[in-house]
Amino acid sequence: MPNIIRLIIAFALLGASVTLFVFGHWGWGILVLFVAIIVGVTFFFNENMLIAQFYLRKENMEKTAFWLGKITNYERQLFRGQHGYYFLLIGLIESRTAPLKSEKYFKRALSLGLKMSHNTAMAFLSLAGIAMAKRNKREANRFLQEAKRADKNKLLAEQIKTMKDQMGLMDRTQTRFR
């Protein structure tokens, strides 16, 4: 359902709720008010994206891909602030099956913008892992520095440290085989 229709329905339900309050039907008015709030929230948070994030946390990639597949035209169906998160979720799904193909989705997510700093750090960390898989140490190091800078709450500090250790291990194995 397009976003503008959701907003119209939310305001119509809000008006119905106020009308029910005026005529003294408090129970129905409260119920309709809650429904209006839920419909209004889906303007900012698409229900398919919320369900896909739920299944991603449960690590059920098939259902995550199913719910993201229901978004056929992301520019019309999603609020502008969700475009980056849409590509971040696709990148996370692709990173499980074909890691090198997921690079374009992470870069697209970063170019569209992610509001939460830990999501930006996760995208940079994933790009650093892809660059390490390509044996591009300079780019991997740059992405790790960006991830460290974006991780303000230190939620990914352990993963960043582990990846730096792996880069150091990669350096030692490369010099051993020369």
State residue 96's pLDDT score.
Answer: 87
* 25 conformational bin, left if phi > 0, alpha if psi -120 to 50, beta if neither: beta
Q: What angle do CA 38, 41, 43 make, to 5 degrees?
A: 120
Q: Are 55 and 24 found together in one domain?
A: no
* Model confidence band, residue 8 (pLDDT cutoffs 50, 70, 90): very high
| 91 plus 12 within the same structural domain | no
Count CA atoms closer than 13 A to 13's CA, side-chain side.
19
42/7 Cα distance (integer angstroms): 9
DSSP states of 50-68 as a string?
A: HHHHHHHHTT-HHHHHHHH
> Average of pLDDT values for 25-31?
95
Based on the domain organization, do 88 and 19 belong to the same domain?
Answer: no
Give which of 45, 44, 46, 66 is closest to 55, Cα–Cα. Answer: 66
How many domains does the structure of the chain reveal? 2
Rounded to whole angstroms, the Cα distance separating 27 from 17 reads: 10
User: DSSP letter string over 85-151?
Assistant: HHHHHHHHHHHHH-GGGGHHHHHHHHHH--SSHHHHHHHHHHHHHHHHHTT-HHHHHHHHHHHHHH-
**100 and 165 assigned to the same domain:** yes
**pLDDT tens digits for 80-132?**
888 999 999 999 999 888 888 899 999 999 999 898 899 999 999 999 999 99
Helices (H) and strands (E) in the chain, counts: 10, 0
Q: How far apart are CA 85 and CA 73, in angstroms?
A: 14
The predicted model scores a pTM of: 0.79
Q: Which of 27, 44, 61 is the last residue of a domain?
A: 44
For residues 150-161, give the mean pLDDT: 88
Say whether both 142 and 125 belong to one domain.
yes
- The per-residue pLDDT of the chain, averaged, comes to 89
Range of the domain at 106: 46-176
Q: 65 with 132, same domain?
A: yes
**pLDDT band at residue 157 under the 50/70/90 scheme:** confident
Domain harbouring 118, CATH code: 1.25.40.10
Q: Quickly state the pLDDT bin for 175 (edges 50, 70, 90).
A: low
13 and 90 fall within a common domain: no
Shared domain for 26 and 106, answered yes or no, is: no
- Would the CA dihedral through 165, 171, 175, 177 be positive or negative? positive
133 and 64 both lie in a single domain = yes
Residues 93 and 114 in one domain: yes
91 and 131, same domain (yes or no): yes
Tell whether 71 and 139 lie within a shared domain: yes
